[in-house]
Chain A
């Protein structure tokens, strides 16, 4: 302490007692629980709004007069947009820790498998499945990632946008994980066609309904519709169907213990993203003022995206017949996907469109 103006010889907490010398918590927001979590402290109110606390309003507007963030960018309404807290409580440190752990896990698994010569022992029919269908799937993950990257600009609070941002980050990471994984095992497998996946994605009748479902999400202009359609509709109907219902259950029977480890990361990602999405839409669908209207909005989104998801899932059926070993029938996986969707919709109190 060098300044001659100060009355105390230390800048440390507790060096003096005076008004608010013990005010050591952020006191401008209500924590969701009894005490603010670390996530809340570093997240809440960083994106302000004229109700909290922009006294001078937004100070730059778009040509139509709208400010930096407006409620009308989504059809959903809320009596308190600021109530949402992401259940995964993700902030930068936890995000990097988790993403980095996943990357480390995948690289260890793939390196060790390659060192042991595992890819060369994959069943030949299974190799075709990987290069074509897992190769096509990476584009679906990428499409969702870019769509969510777009959506994270538009939400009304920091909590909503950051949850969408981390979701986008997980999707884009996984799209790259698959890309690099296939490229690496391709080195060890003679005749592996790394371009087959994109060709299937763009041309195969099996994948066109999935591409259509993804492009419909990408083309939506309502950010919460994009978030809803991704996690409430597409993921259970198509994402989990393909990842858990097919890859993770069928791979080992075809002498592949590697791919399920790579894909399992995305399933864990989805559990967290689903929890965040359900929590947000539960709040909206049970909002005292706007709950009913929001249920109608969500059911409108279900009516738009569920048929696309069902169609996409149905068209994937031939894939289940391609491997040599077929331990699970498509119908079981599809039934599981339908149950999962029904359970999620039930959690939100939403009615699904009839098949």
Chain B
């Protein structure tokens, strides 16, 4: 073959340039004249400028690209089995995947549904292909994650918990926190949910911790499957971030949107922080056995990805468009993660609640203590004794830690907004709404419910805004129930009818595993119902004591 001559050059033929192809495809839409499309997704935003598609992709190249990505994912899963991955995987890690993978497919498919909403609201068709790809991407994410969960169930030593996954998702106190995230994508004002909450904040900022930081930790624990699946998922996110930014730029053109954007950025950032950091921070810091002091802690990763990459390079530039950025909230979130030990209080709470989980939680050990103290100075003084108690009480015959008065742990109130409990005790906020008392983890959570999710915002009617609803305090559902009856009602019992799915240890031995009989005789109480029943004086005293915090008793 002559120099420089290749098969491609010989067979090349004239084609349509990508820009031209994208332009022709954008011209597929038209303004209906016989029947108008109904505006079924309400929004208070005004969008007149058609968003542009910066990616200029077409489905002809999208589908083969995605198929190739899939081939790599499924090939890697096969290879992991051939390489006997599960022989070396850390169960401490995989157990947390029972919770994580119970939650995440619902937010993913909710994101697919939300593409209907932005697709209908965005004028013009330039970004339609972008929305279409995202819709199919999210369908991909949801089912590929379900597949991963099935794969864990089929190959991991203890499948219990994976085997009830979607039922557990509907019932567990922890999964409801994830549902607040997923329902936030599809309910209420369509732009608030499908654009600002989902794309501008969750995907642009927090998928980095979800889909990049977590896979790194998985790999450190012998799990090569999660990185394979989730880094493939993350590779779709850049397109979604582009969609969200393009819509955002269209909305910025209308000055009357600015007030709503400021509201939604504040709500979405704070709630993403409260939910995602609680969950992913716990998985990464407490689900790992790797205590390499040279690796980044969750706090360090948060600073890199959320503070530096997102806050400084994505949010701050919005100020030049006249958008007021909530600097204080970002700094407050950072303070919660570092000085106020947010993630650690969440992990502690999950551990206290182990009997009503559907996964196992193993005690932290000396090796873990050393790493935590190195990364989070002051950690040991606050949490060391607790984890010693946890290990001590992990054995059958002990009174479970949820009801063991010797420990000194005070069961927390539940935040009515983010649904994570009010774990930073001094920040507890109690507000009356519609004649009923509600508890919040932070004043910003109270602002979210009272000010943001309302029919009016700073004097402007916001009729499209959603409302927080449902039986939001999980504990109210089982107020006055015996713990054993509650676990049975939840369905968190193995098929022998007595052994609990959750266990406070990783001992895979029937003789060590807790049964219903081991937890019977303790009555669950709703902190909120109890608070509402108090006299004003008793309530004031209770709140003051709660805000003062608690001390874990020494474990001997």
B89 touches A165 (CB 8 A): no
Among candidates A7, A52, A115, A168, residue contacting B506 with C-beta atoms closer than 8 Å: A7
Determine which of B40, B58, B70, B509 lies in contact with A176 in the assembled complex, contact meaning CB atoms within 8 Å.
B58
Stretch at the interface among A94-102, A251-259, A277-285, A290-298: A94-102
Would B143 and A92 count as touching, CB distance under 8 A?
yes
Check B28 against A179 for contact (C-beta < 8 Å).
yes
CB pair A100–B154 under 8 Å, yes or no, is: no
CB-based contact A3/B289 at 8 Å: yes
Query: Within the complex, what minimum Cβ distance (angstroms) separates B421 from chain A?
Result: 15
Which residues of chain A come closer than 8 Å to B159, judged between CB atoms?
13, 20-24
Question: Which A51-71 residues sit within 8 Å CB-CB of chain B?
Answer: 52-63, 65, 67-68
Interface pick from A103-111, A233-241, A330-338, A340-348: A103-111
User: Quick check: is A268 within 8 A (CB to CB) of the other chain?
Assistant: no
Contact indicator per residue, chain A 201-237, by CB within 8 Å of chain B (1) or not (0): 1100000000110011011110000000000000000
Judge whether A74 is part of the interface by a CB distance below 8 angstroms: no
Considering only residues 179-202 of chain B, those with a C-beta below 8 Å from chain A are 179-180, 183-184, 186-188
Select the stretch in A123-131, A180-188, A316-324 that faces chain B: A180-188
Establish whether residues A215 and B33, one from each chain, have CB atoms under 8 Å apart when the complex forms.
Answer: yes
Q: Is A41 a contact partner of B150 (Cβ separation < 8 A)?
A: yes
Complexed CA–CA distance, A221 and B42 (Å): 13
Q: Which of B239-247, B327-335, B464-472 lies at the interface with chain A? A: B464-472
When the two chains form their complex, are residues B64 and A104 in contact, meaning their CB atoms are under 8 A apart? Answer: yes
CB under 8 Å from chain B, chain A span 1-58: 1-8, 10-16, 18-29, 38, 41-48, 52-58
Shortest Cβ distance from residue B287 to the other chain A in the assembled complex, whole angstroms: 11
Chain B neighbourhood of A138, CB < 8 A: 28
> Which residues of A from 132 to 172 have beta carbons under 8 Å from B?
138-139, 142, 145-146, 149-154, 158, 161-162, 165-166, 168-169, 172
- Which one of A3, A20, A60, A184 contacts B91 once the chains associate, using CB atoms below 8 Å? A3
State whether B186 touches A46 (Cβ < 8 A): no
Q: Which of A67, A115, A149, A169 contacts B119 (CB 8 A)?
A: A149
B509 touches A53 (CB 8 A): no
With a CB–CB cut-off of 8 A, which chain A residues contact B187? 58, 60-62, 67-68
Per the bound structure, the CA–CA distance linking A296 and B365 in Å amounts to: 66
* Interface presence of B308 (CB below 8 A): no
Q: Tell me if B167 counts as interface (CB < 8 A to partner A).
A: yes
| Chain A nearest Cβ from B282, distance in angstroms | 17
Stretch at the interface among B134-142, B272-280, B370-378, B530-538: B134-142
Which of A20, A52, A58, A154 has the largest number of chain B CB atoms within 10 A? A20
Given the known inter-chain contacts A46-B166, A150-B116, please indicate yes or no for A13 contacting B470, CB distance below 8 A.
no
Which residue of the partner chain A has the closest CB to B515?
A19
Contact with B34, one of A20, A27, A187, A215 (Cβ below 8 angstroms): A215
B471 touches A57 (CB 8 A): yes
**Complex CA–CA separation, A139 to B26 (angstroms):** 11
Q: In the docked arrangement, what's the CA distance between A68 and B193, Å? A: 12
B158 partner, pick from A21, A111, A177, beta carbons under 8 A: A21
A219 adjacent to B183 (CB under 8 Å): no
Q: Once the chains bind, are B508 and A15 in contact (CB under 8 Å)?
A: yes
Task: Provide the bound-state CA to CA distance between A127 and B313, in Å.
Answer: 52
Contact of B176 among A38, A59, A106, A111 (CB under 8 A): A59
Chain B CB within 8 A of A91 CB? yes
Do residues A19 and B510 form an inter-chain contact, with CB atoms below 8 A?
A: yes
CB-CB under 8 A from B144, the residues of chain A are 92-93
Contact check, B166 vs A180: say whether CB atoms are below 8 A apart: no
Residues of A within 8 A of B33 (CB): 215
- Which of the segments B1-9, B80-88, B253-261 contacts the partner chain? B80-88
A47 touches B167 (CB 8 A): no
Give Cα A230 to B534, complex, Å: 59
**Residues in B whose Cβ lies below 8 Å from that of A16:** 157, 508-509
* In the complex, A114 has a CB within 8 A of chain B: yes
**Contact of A61 with B467 in the complex, beta carbons under 8 Å:** yes
Asked if B21 is an interface residue, CB under 8 A from chain A, the answer is yes
Flag A264-294 by CB within 8 Å of B: 1 or 0 each: 0000000000000000000000000000000
Give every chain A residue within 8 A of B465 (Cβ-Cβ). Answer: 63
* A173 contacts the other chain (CB 8 A): yes
- B34–A221 touching, CB < 8 Å: no
A4 to B153, CA, bound (A): 23
B16 CB contact (under 8 Å) in A56, A62, A183: A183
Smallest CB–CB gap between A99 and chain B, Å?
A: 4
Q: Which residue of A lies closest to B498 (CB)?
A: A19
Q: Are A91 and B34 also in contact (CB < 8 A) when A20-B495, A65-B467, A176-B59 are?
A: no
Q: Which of A96, A166, A220 has the most CB of B within 10 A?
A: A96
Among A56, A146, A176, the most chain B Cβ lie within 10 Å of the Cβ of A56
Q: Are A23 and B508 in contact (CB under 8 A)?
A: no
Measured between alpha carbons, how far is A19 from B499 in the docked complex, in Å? 7
With CB as the reference atom, state the residue of chain A lying closest to B92: A3
Q: Are A146 and B166 in contact (CB under 8 A)?
A: no
Beta-carbon contact of B143 and A42 below 8 Å? yes
A306 in the interface (beta carbon within 8 A): no
Q: How many interface residues does B have (CB within 8 Å)?
A: 125
Q: Across the interface, do A19 and B495 meet the contact criterion of CB distance under 8 Å? A: yes
Q: Does A88 contact B (CB under 8 A)?
A: no
Pairwise interchain contact A111-B13, C-beta atoms closer than 8 A: yes
**A201–B395 Cα gap in the complex (Å)?**
74
A179 proximity list for chain B (CB < 8 A):
21, 24-25, 28
Chain A: CB-nearest residue to B367: A4
Give A220's nearest chain B residue, CB to CB. Answer: B38
Provide the bound-state CA to CA distance between A55 and B115, in Å.
27
Residues of A within 8 A of B156 (CB): 11-13
The proximity string for B residues 99-143 relative to A, scoring 1 for CB distances below 8 Å and 0 otherwise, is: 000000110011011111101100000001101100110011111
Interface check B463, CB cutoff 8 A: yes
Question: Min CB distance, B435 to chain A, in Å?
Answer: 18
In the assembled complex, A194 has its CB within 8 A of some CB on chain B: yes
Select which of B16, B136, B143, B153 is within 8 A of A169 by beta carbon: B136
With the chains together, A210 CA to B119 CA distance in Å? 23
**Bound CA span A196–B473, Å:** 60
With A20-B159, A176-B60 already in contact, the answer to whether A6 and B508 are too (CB < 8 A) is yes
**In the complex the two chains form, what is the Cα distance from A22 to B186 in whole Å?**
37
Known contacts A172-B59, A187-B14; A212/B35 CB under 8 A: yes
Q: Does A175 contact B (CB under 8 A)?
A: yes
**A44 with B166: in contact, given A3-B90, A62-B187, A180-B21 (CB under 8 Å)?**
yes
B474 at the interface (CB under 8 A from A): yes
Looking at B59, B115, B176, B477, which has the most chain A CB atoms within 10 Å of its CB?
B59
Query: Closest Cβ of chain A: how far from B80's Cβ, in Å?
Result: 11
Q: What's the minimum C-beta distance from A198 to chain B, rounded to whole angstroms?
A: 6
Q: Is the CB of B289 within 8 A of A18?
A: no
The reply to whether B154 and A24 form a contact with Cβ atoms under 8 Å apart is: yes
Closest to B106 in A: A46
Which listed residue (B129, B132, B508) contacts A18, Cβ 8 A?
A: B508
Starting from the known contacts A52-B167, A102-B63, A198-B27, 20 additional A-B residue pairs (CB-CB under 8 Å) come to A6-B506, A10-B87, A11-B88, A12-B87, A20-B160, A28-B166, A28-B167, A45-B166, A46-B109, A60-B180, A68-B183, A96-B70, A103-B63, A107-B60, A149-B131, A153-B41, A153-B117, A165-B139, A172-B59, A172-B132
**5 nearest interchain CB pairs?**
A53-B170, A219-B35, A153-B116, A12-B86, A42-B146
Can you list 13 A-B contacts (CB < 8 A)?
A18-B508, A21-B160, A54-B179, A56-B470, A59-B470, A60-B187, A65-B467, A65-B469, A68-B110, A68-B187, A102-B63, A153-B41, A165-B135
